[in-house]
A and B are shown apart, each in its own frame.
Chain A
Amino acid sequence: MEEQTTPSLEHFSLQKEQIQQALGRVKTRDIDYADIYFESNVSESVSMEEGIVKRASKHIEQGAGVRATAGEKTGFAYSDDLSQKDLEIAADTARYIANSPKGETPIAVTHRDGPTQDLYPLEQPVSEIATTERVELLNLIDAEARRYDPRIAKVMASFTTEQKVVMVANSEGQLVGDIQPLSRLQVTCIAEDGSNHQVGSYGGGGRVGFSYYHEGERAQKFAREAARQAILNLQAVDVPAGVMPVVLGSGWPGILLHEAIGHGLEADFNRRKTSAFSDLIGQRVASEGCTIVDDGTLPFRRGSLNMDDEGTATSRTVLIEKGILRGYITDRLNAKLLGIPLTGNGRREDFRSIVLPRMTNTFMLAGEAEPEDIIRSVKNGLYAVSFGGGQVDITNGKFVFSASEAYLIEDGKVTKPVKGATLIGSGPDILKHVSMVGHDLQLDEGVGTCGKEGQSVPVGVGLPTLRIDEITVGGTSVGP
């Protein structure tokens, strides 16, 4: 167990002296802070279609990124070669932003035994599971989906895993690392009924062991869910376009918070005052019933981390408390420049990318309403329970997200399924229209990937059933 959760310098074939020298070279008196991020990542993927597992691939990556900051400036260089010479070249590039001569005094670093949290202790990392066992997992899926309904015509599934080892050494003398397992099982089904073809998708995962996918026949459950959605969509009707009340189901619809609120509260946009949320701390941005947190400390979750990519322990940050904007999520650079707390949200896709403040698991705390009562309270509207993707324009606050499973609510009852409805709203306004919050908070299954400045990182979202009194629904039919 020890070796699995705390990486050592040997993993990267590195000597402590090399790191100390490189840090000393970059951290001159004009540089406020410097760090070196070492990463190795082994990712593997197997995929199934037409009833057979026909593809398998494996990627091995290793490299280091050297960063220096001076005021608002960041210098960054990376290399996939970990030699002393390459580290020095990277250090010289990073330092260039301060225009100062190279430092000569090495900076002593002390190896902390490991991150202060142990959120994903695994008996055996998924990366050690034999390919044949992964192939067998996928082989369970096809038959299960087809058994659900004979109209299931195509079944596709993939299982991807990664084992990431990271170490961060910084000019404050810290040296700390983490081993980050991650896996995901994804199923897509196509249903055909005459010329009517529809798709359904489902999946999940996290920083979990391989047994997770077999527990309670989880893989088969994913297959049935994907099949159910595809079959359901065969009967979907056009959705009316216009403003209407919308009830969001619990769990994955939390993507609303991620797009509408979360991105706007990332500290970099607020330091630059380019976010629609800039300068709104202490002000009401949501109704009384809304308390929203970002929490990187939930065990085994896809969005969780023992430490962020700057070596800071992740934490639970209250973003909105009873409707009032409380805080931003931060990385070192932005926390320091804004003079606000460091929340452990400095993340990067890999050694090639710079650190940005990013979300972990973002969700709304449960309220008290019965989910059935929330639906019953709506005369005519939309009940959306699953979504594809979403996107936001940080500056004007406009966001969209697209439903993959939604129903009409007619006279307080859930009736017909509808085709892909897109919801569009304004981040700083939308949660002011929340009038009921259910007691049924759920987190998503572990499929979320967030993109920002071209970098993708795994995230989680969560939501209790929620009533939004009015939001614009982009539908395919005009009129009520």
Chain B
Amino acid sequence: MTTSLVTEHEHFASLASEMLDRAKSLGATEADVLVAEGDSVSVQVRLSAVDRLEKAREKSLGLRVFFGKRSASASTSDFSKESLSRLVADTCSLAKAVAEDEVSGLPEANLMAQDFPDLGLYDPTTLTVDQEIELARRAEDAAMTADPRMTNSEGADCSVSQGTVLLANHHGFVGCHQSSTFSLSVSPIAGDSQSGGMQRDSWYSVKRKYHLLDSPEAIGKEAARRTLRRLGARKVTTQQVPVVFDQEMAKSLLGHLATAVSGYSIYKGASFLSEFLGKRMAPEFVTVYDDGRLTDGLGSRPFDGEGLATQKTVVMESGTLTSFLLDTYSGRKLGMKSTGNAARGVGDSPSVSTTNLHLAPGTASPADIIGSVKQGLYVTELIGFGVNMLTGDYSRGAAGFWIENGELAYPVEEITIAGNLKQMFADIEVIGNDLEFRGRTASPTLKIKELIVAGN
């Protein structure tokens, strides 16, 4: 940590404590302040030439005040004295305009995070713009030279960002953490000589630390492989078949699970899992964790958006739904303790988000899973928003490969898959051994017994 950063944090801490004092002097019974700053440099290279270069530096301050059971929040990017004092006054008058809410308030003082472990979230490595351009260029080159059918490109993007978050509240809590993100991605296009059509796909790597990033060549080659294999895609007839979700698509099912077990969905009665806590909803080999303290994790943080310690929560254990994901407010609504999942947009009241959500791996290899299907679908892309969180009804656009006698026979597109999430979790038949964190949510390949595929 450099001296200037320390100075900056001290400046933020004193800014926050000044805001807290001012809120108190205007009659607020409780308050918390979030200060965030960050900078990023990103480049896009397309067909070997620099297409876009972006550089950003920003900061913002969020304030939440309570007048007894009433509360409001606000944010500003203008740190001038006048602007900040207006912000405090505005927030206080907003709070007085809303109704009393029985369970609103800061977390209890004795629950605030005490320890701030180093989770490996920050890498001070800086890349010059030219180094970023070089990485993007190498990744795109690897994709474009992989095969003569690689004809065009939406470009390769390289981005490095660093940020600091400081949270302080009237309990005397002050927490601060720094993080960094390095990412590299390519979106190449392949031309289809048969239909005259084109297909695009992409591949990426995103890490907290520069040295953990996949090599540009590996990313480019994988992007090309994923794009080329889609050429010649066709529709299939409408039928009910087993469906295998690849790692990337299986992640989206965990995402739906996370939304359904968020304390807010539950207390609002907006989730298909409202009545499932403690109940069996999937086979016994299905276990799901949300781990806020995974080393180097993209979803890790030492404390959550309210200053509570993050933790490892078992969301589903051996097929039984064991925990919702909660912050203080949604926990109090349900008579439960926060699971340290408060997320916080600067200037917003907390909401719930996952940290590092993942499905525990099984023992089958992806090839074994595909090999077990006589006739079915291997899904590698999903589009659209056809998921009803209240009923679990699920219907999305899909693309992927048709499986015949355990082999990927040909690519398919312009089809949908439909079912109900409740049934889909119950119908998980196999989980792969290929768990790998490529983001904050991770899943091995998985197979679902049956879904309706709509096509011709």
Contacts and interface: CB of A to CB of B under 8 A. Distances in A.
Contact of A396 (B99, B199, B347): B199
Interface string B49-85: 1111111111110000000000111111110000100
B97 A58 contact: no
Given A424-B397, A474-B397, A389 B91 contact: no
Contacts of B87: 60
Given A396-B200, A474-B395, A153 B269 contact: yes
Contacts of B381: 393
Contacts of B199: 395-396
A393 B384 CA distance: 10
Given A55-B98, A73-B51, A60 B77 contact: yes
B395 A57 contact: no
B413 interface: yes
Interface in A447-480: 472-478
B393 interface: yes
Contact of B198 (A274, A354, A472): A274
Given A97-B53, A241-B238, A57 B348 contact: yes
Given A62-B78, A190-B269, A241-B418, A80 B59 contact: yes
Contacts, number: 255
Interface string A383-420: 00000111111111011111000000000000000011
Nearest to B87: A60
Interface stretch (B292-300, B305-313, B367-375, B448-456): B448-456
Given A153-B269, A198-B391, A393-B383, A74 B51 contact: yes
Given A59-B74, A389-B385, A475-B454, A274 B152 contact: yes
Contacts of A153: 269
A74 B381 CA distance: 31
B74 A57 contact: yes
Interface stretch (A45-53, A287-295, A436-444): A45-53
Contacts of A276: 197-198
A15 interface: no
Contact of A478 (B71, B91, B452): B452
Contacts of B58: 63, 78-80, 352
B277 to A, nearest CB: 16
B349 A73 contact: no
Contacts of B413: 396, 398
A19 interface: no
A468 to B, nearest CB: 15
Contacts of B284: none
Interface string A115-146: 00000000000000011100100000000000
Interface in A88-138: 90, 93-94, 96-97, 130-132, 135
B93 interface: yes
A76 B415 contact: no
Nearest to A419: B393
Given A398-B399, A422-B397, A475 B452 contact: yes
Nearest to B230: A396
Nearest to A394: B200
Contact of B414 (A78, A390, A426, A476): A426
A63 B77 contact: yes
A197 B391 contact: yes
Contact of A475 (B54, B395, B456): B395
Contacts of A393: 200, 381, 383
B390 interface: yes
Given A274-B200, A473-B454, A156 B268 contact: yes
Contacts of B261: none
B386 A422 contact: yes
Nearest to B90: A58
A476 B394 CA distance: 9
A401 B397 CA distance: 8
Given A96-B129, A422-B397, A474-B395, A72 B418 contact: no
Nearest to B76: A60
A302 to B, nearest CB: 19
Interface string B230-241: 100101001110
Interface in A269-303: 272-274, 276
A421 B395 contact: yes
Contact of B417 (A420, A473, A474): A474
B181 to A, nearest CB: 14
A61 B73 contact: no
Given A52-B101, A395-B198, A474 B386 contact: yes
A307 interface: no
A77 interface: yes
A61 B418 contact: no
Given A58-B90, A135-B97, A199-B270, A476 B393 contact: yes
Contacts of A73: 49-53
Interface in A369-392: 388-392
B59 A472 contact: no
A474 B129 CA distance: 46
Contact-residue size bin, chain A (C-beta under 8 Å from the other chain) = 35 or more
B51 to A, nearest CB: 6
A425 interface: yes
Contacts of A94: 53
B200 A422 contact: no
B416 A395 contact: no
A94 B100 CA distance: 49
Interface string B101-139: 100100000000000000000000000010000000000
B396 interface: yes
A400 B386 CA distance: 9
Nearest to B59: A80
A341 interface: no
B343 to A, nearest CB: 15
Interface string B387-409: 01011010111010000000000
Nearest to A80: B77
Interface in B214-245: 230, 233, 235, 238-240
Contacts of B101: 52, 54
A396 B56 CA distance: 33
A243 interface: yes
A96 B50 CA distance: 11
Contact of A401 (B98, B233, B384): B384
A54 B98 contact: yes
B419 interface: yes
A472 B414 contact: yes
B50 to A, nearest CB: 5
B94 interface: yes
A422 B384 contact: yes
Interface of A: 46, 49, 52-63, 72-80, 86, 90, 93-94, 96-97, 130-132, 135, 153-154, 156, 190, 192, 197-199, 241-243, 272-274, 276, 352, 354, 388-396, 398-402, 419-422, 424-426, 472-478
19 contacts: A52-B98, A54-B101, A56-B97, A59-B76, A60-B75, A73-B52, A74-B51, A75-B53, A80-B78, A131-B97, A154-B269, A272-B154, A389-B385, A393-B381, A396-B233, A398-B414, A402-B384, A420-B388, A475-B452
Leading 9 A-B pairs by shortest Cβ distance = A474-B416, A400-B397, A400-B384, A241-B454, A402-B386, A389-B385, A52-B99, A395-B200, A131-B97
Given A76-B54, A272-B46, A396-B198, 12 more contacts: A55-B71, A55-B349, A59-B347, A60-B77, A61-B76, A76-B53, A76-B55, A130-B97, A154-B269, A398-B383, A422-B384, A472-B414
